[in-house]
Structure 1
Amino acid sequence: MKDIALLDTTGIVFMSAYLVSLLLIGIAGRLARKEDSLADFYLSGRGMGLFVLFLTLYATQYSGNTLIGMAGKSYRQGYTFLVSVTFMMSVIGAYLIYAPKLHRLSKKQKYITIGDYIEHRYGSPVLTTFITIVCIITVGSYILTNLKAIGYIVEATTGGRVTFVQGIITLSLIMVIYETLGGMRSVAWTDAIQGILLIAGCLFIFCGIEYQYGGISAVAEKLISSHSDMWHPPDFAQKRIWLSTIIIIFFGISIYPQAIQRIYAAKDAKTLKRSFQIMIFMPFVTTFFLVIAGMVGMNRFPGLDKRGSEEITMLLLNDMAMYIPGAKYFIILFLSAAVAAIMSTVDSALLAISSLFTQDIYRRIWPTASQSHLTGTGKIFSWSIMACMAYFATSLPQTIWRLTEMKLEVLCQVAPAIFLGLHFKSIRGITILGGLSIGISVTLFIMFSENMGVPIVPKPWGIHAGVWGLIANFLIVGYFSYFKRSPVVC
């Protein structure tokens, strides 16, 4: 595959022009700023409307993990991975539980980061700093997974003339420049374009599959004969893994710091709720289509290893280009959508990291620092984080899906602080800190037990380490909050 370029000269010129246009939008965002403050840079003045809010949520949630990781996972697992549509729908349910109330509080208390809420709700600097560090590490991992995805795409689109490593380094540089120029305002503007491109790209690959390979039913018939083992109904062990995955996605993705920033940035509660109502349908036109692509790839290109399976979307695009007239123009569209979605996601993650470090750590050390100084410090931190993540993306061997699981298993330990804290007055900061500490300790112990010589599998009884940690987390919080006869509901 590396010897065949998916994009010809026209496509590469178009892609280059698109990347330059994003930098120009970043400059426009900088020129449009109303004040040199953290709120303006990170939250776009807290006035984001329905159209932009929906598309920026969509472009942030569906990124390289969807376009590359999910198709690769579907290739390896088969039709049972259709359950991932349910995974992504569960995220919206989680948002609707806590986001409206958090939004109202953010308007009243002028929150900028998740740490602002934690500090206001629990009054514990130690808890705030702990959660901030956890979020920075997990969001950094989020950047890592998307940089790996963009490396695969660049290598495939250029036929290997731009290598995996070179693609990551080049686009990382473009992204960090763009992010530090425009902040949330320019990110939101580009997200509106990128979200549309992403939807169009997913529609194209689904329609191409219908046209080129005879549709879903024809593909299913071939897979039944060639991979009959992947068509057995899931057993109880598989169902446990599904339930475990839903739990870490429900509690993990929904509290991404970059998603919480968008909750803060919404113009009002009505706009926020309507955005989520539209988002509930997006797994059907995004996740579902990419899962189908992975299954088609299993039939068309059997025997790929893990690395090869995560290039399956690119392989299918190249295959369709050989048979469908004019397909190269749609391939340009899809690849532009893929790159745009990843860049949007990384932009958002960088903004989140920058705000977390600046607002919740640096500002505590230098409380007299001006708003412009704080914003500049956050930009410097973004550059440092991007350099580290680019290095790790070129070095770590794990698949994109496994990296996604690992970061969610740790991040979901923060969920009790938000979900319970918003609805129960009785819960104190020391209780949340105890649950969080135990939850992360259990998660990391199970996750790395084999490396320490302890005979524990990464998913005991088919359940993720993060779920076992979350169970311990909730039990600690529940015991000390309710069995001590505290007041219950606010």
Structure 2
Amino acid sequence: MIVGGSDQILIVVLFYFLITMIVGLLPFGKKRVDSLDNFHSATKGISDWCFVFCVLSTIYTSSTWTGWVPLTTQIGIYGIYTTVYIAIAAFLYGIISPKVYDNAKESSIFSLGGYLEHQLHSHAINIFVSIVSIIVGAIWIVMELKSLGIIICAAFNYSINFVSAVIMGLLVIVVYIIWGGMESAVWSACLHGIIMIFGGIIISIMLVVYQYGSLSDFLLILKNNADIVELNYHNFSKMGDSSQWISNAIVSALGMVCLPQIFSRMVMGKSEHSQKKIAKWIGISALWCLSFVLIGYVAMIENIQVTHSSNLIFEIMALSDHTWVLYLTYIVMMAAAMGTLDITLFSLSTTIITTFVSESKISESKYNKKNKYTYVTLSRIVIVIVAMLCMFIAIILDDNLTDMAINSYQYICQIFPTLMYAAFSKNKNTTAAFCAMASGFTLTAVLEISNISFIMTSGVWGLIVNAIIIIANCAAAKKKRSHLC
């Protein structure tokens, strides 16, 4: 059971809910997204720094805390792969995002599917990618809802059940999103990003200081317990040497930049300069990932064993006699979960409306004609429906089914690198992209079933896919030159 349940923790959680509501409603009464026409201009009054922390709150979710900290306890020093992974992703984000933003602004693009249709000239790709984007986004929301529900249950000392906890957390988010619109999602995500980044640094450093005296003393203890590191990472079958974790970092970064929830930050950006600034700070934040490694090593030294990995972070923080560290951990975890939930809900509603609702059905005036609806009205309706469906799924899914959903999410996400990088190819060979995607899925399935996968399956074929696309486009270019001659 997660440590918590005191009156102080309950007050802390409720106070953070209140602060989130206030910040989320700050844009109320100001210029907001009231139509598709001003979708790309409604964020001009928001600072670049606000967008930086908004994007960071999307990349680092509560799942990173509950997943990456236990990962270090399993693979030891190779837990540092997360730093390499984020650094590569930042480089790719800096290349892709300015072009995406520029195209989105000029061509009224609102989603990943819309961008791929614009680049590859295929409406079928838009429909296909939009459906997959909705599935991926829903899985993401379900994962974060389960994390948020666990945190709230613990704060109430389990006097309320998981269902009530999920409803409470989701209600707060839905209220300020449908009231304040996209600006509310950006403002609140910025708050969550600030709390999560700086709070994460504080709790990791304070944990080491309170437990071991200083960082140097901790490193000395770690050196004297090197056998623990050696023992743990050899027990992890899929990532046991440098070539494996480097490969995983590369292919994970290829996929992460193309995820729908990350892509939405590019589309909803402020300017090309803003996107480059975001990329720079994503790269700098890669060093922040060392917090996960630091906390994971504490668990290894203290030999902390828990039934569920999601409980590990709280058990570690409970080692400190200073309860404020545990309180801050609750806030950081809530910020990590909520920072993804709000903007992903908004992104899903935008994808659904712009893909499956004809423009003739959307009125740009609040005085609707018959059988027409404003964009704001549709957005609110879709957000509520998506939120309720995801909440229902999060409640009925047990841990085994959730793990299965996460695994399927890893496979599904590899669709996006194929299409995204095909769209960036000089010669847009859509057939090659789909052939590469099919061969990649086959290869992944064979490696996984035979249990001989040489890198983690979150992106085992990402490099192969892009190699096929490049080769196909080079062949097409050569053929075109031969015809000209």
When the two structures are superposed, what TM-score results if normalisation uses the length of structure 1? 0.84
Contact 2:261 2:347 in 1 (8 A): yes
Structure 1 residue 120: deviation in Å? 1.6
Q: In the aligned structure 2, how far is the partner of 1:226 from the partner of 1:35?
A: 54
Equivalence map 1:273-312=2 (5 Å)? 273-285=276-288, 287-305=289-307, 307=308, 309-312=309-312
Correspondence for 1:355 among 347, 350, 355? 350
| Alpha-carbon distance change, 80 to 161 in structure 1, aligned in 2, over 3 angstroms | farther
Contact 1:154 1:163 in 2 (8 A): no
2:382 corresponds to:
381
Give SS of 2:159's match.
coil
Structure 1 residue 343: deviation in Å? 0.7
| Alpha-carbon distance change, 176 to 220 in structure 1, aligned in 2, over 3 angstroms | same
| Alpha-carbon distance change, 440 to 370 in structure 1, aligned in 2, over 3 angstroms | farther
Contact 1:197 1:337 in 2 (8 A): yes
Q: Deviations over 1:390-438 (max 9, x none)?
A: 33334242598886564243223222332332341x2144444454455
2:339 corresponds to which letter in structure 1?
S
| Alpha-carbon distance change, 464 to 22 in structure 1, aligned in 2, over 3 angstroms | same
Equivalence map 1:363-442=2 (5 Å)? 363=358, 367-371=360-364, 372-394=373-395, 395-398=397-400, 406-424=408-426, 426-436=427-437, 439-440=440-441
Q: In the aligned structure 1, how far is the partner of 2:53 from the partner of 2:377?
A: 28
Q: Deviations over 1:432-477 (max 9, x none)?
A: 445445545665x459x8xxxxx533x6334527423x45644654
Contact 1:124 1:429 in 2 (8 A): no
2:311 corresponds to which letter in structure 1?
E
Equivalence map 1:58-457=2 (5 Å)? 58-214=56-212, 215=215, 216-221=218-223, 223-224=225-226, 228-230=230-232, 238-285=241-288, 287-305=289-307, 307=308, 309-320=309-320, 323-324=321-322, 327-328=323-324, 330-363=325-358, 367-371=360-364, 372-394=373-395, 395-398=397-400, 406-424=408-426, 426-436=427-437, 439-440=440-441, 443=444, 445-446=445-446, 455-457=449-451
Q: In the aligned structure 1, how far is the partner of 2:402 from the partner of 2:294?
A: 18
Contact 1:71 1:291 in 2 (8 A): yes
Contact 1:59 1:195 in 2 (8 A): yes
Which consecutive residues of structure 2, in runs of 5 or more, have no partner in the other structure?
A: 365-372
Contact 1:25 1:186 in 2 (8 A): yes
2:453 corresponds to:
460
| Alpha-carbon distance change, 317 to 164 in structure 1, aligned in 2, over 3 angstroms | farther
Count of residues paired in the alignment: 466
Q: Deviations over 1:276-328 (max 9, x none)?
A: 2122111222x2112221221233243333x1x321111122221xx23xx42
Q: Deviations over 1:163-186 (max 9, x none)?
A: 444322321232223322222211
Contact 1:87 1:249 in 2 (8 A): yes
Structure 1 residue 32: deviation in Å? 2.0
| Alpha-carbon distance change, 465 to 272 in structure 1, aligned in 2, over 3 angstroms | closer
1:481 corresponds to:
473
Q: In the aligned structure 2, how far is the partner of 1:293 from the partner of 1:350?
A: 31
Structure 1 residue 29: deviation in Å? 3.0
Equivalence map 1:8-87=2 (5 Å)? 8-34=6-32, 36-38=34-36, 40=38, 44-45=42-43, 48-87=46-85
2:473 corresponds to which letter in structure 1?
S
Contact 2:428 2:473 in 1 (8 A): yes
2:368 corresponds to:
none
2:367 corresponds to:
none
| Alpha-carbon distance change, 193 to 289 in structure 1, aligned in 2, over 3 angstroms | same
| Alpha-carbon distance change, 35 to 77 in structure 1, aligned in 2, over 3 angstroms | closer
| Alpha-carbon distance change, 409 to 45 in structure 1, aligned in 2, over 3 angstroms | same
Give SS of 2:270's match.
coil
Contact 1:100 1:273 in 2 (8 A): yes
Contact 2:137 2:348 in 1 (8 A): yes
Moved more, 64-73 or 294-303: 294-303
For the aligned residue pairs, the C-alpha RMSD in angstroms reads 3.2
1:279 corresponds to which letter in structure 2?
I
1:452 corresponds to:
none
Q: In the aligned structure 2, how far is the partner of 1:35 from the partner of 1:175?
A: 18
| Alpha-carbon distance change, 73 to 200 in structure 1, aligned in 2, over 3 angstroms | same
Structure 1 residue 248: deviation in Å? 3.6
| Alpha-carbon distance change, 226 to 441 in structure 1, aligned in 2, over 3 angstroms | closer
| Alpha-carbon distance change, 461 to 71 in structure 1, aligned in 2, over 3 angstroms | closer
1:148 corresponds to which letter in structure 2?
K
1:345 corresponds to which letter in structure 2?
T
| Alpha-carbon distance change, 35 to 269 in structure 1, aligned in 2, over 3 angstroms | closer
Q: In the aligned structure 2, how far is the partner of 1:231 from the partner of 1:108?
A: 49
Moved more, 248-257 or 16-25: 16-25
1:481 corresponds to which letter in structure 2?
N
| Alpha-carbon distance change, 400 to 275 in structure 1, aligned in 2, over 3 angstroms | farther
Q: Deviations over 1:37-90 (max 9, x none)?
A: 136568744564321111111111111122222112223333321222112222
Q: In the aligned structure 1, how far is the partner of 2:180 from the partner of 2:59?
A: 20
Contact 2:73 2:232 in 1 (8 A): no
Q: In the aligned structure 1, how far is the partner of 2:378 from the partner of 2:446?
A: 36
Contact 1:224 1:231 in 2 (8 A): no
Contact 2:201 2:291 in 1 (8 A): yes
Identity across aligned pairs (percent)?
18
| Alpha-carbon distance change, 472 to 272 in structure 1, aligned in 2, over 3 angstroms | closer
| Alpha-carbon distance change, 428 to 73 in structure 1, aligned in 2, over 3 angstroms | same
Which consecutive residues of structure 1, in runs of 5 or more, have no partner in the other structure?
A: 450-454
**Alignment partner of 1:5 is 2:8:** no
Q: In the aligned structure 2, how far is the partner of 1:465 from the partner of 1:55?
A: 26
Contact 1:33 1:40 in 2 (8 A): no
Q: In the aligned structure 2, how far is the partner of 1:74 from the partner of 1:401?
A: 19
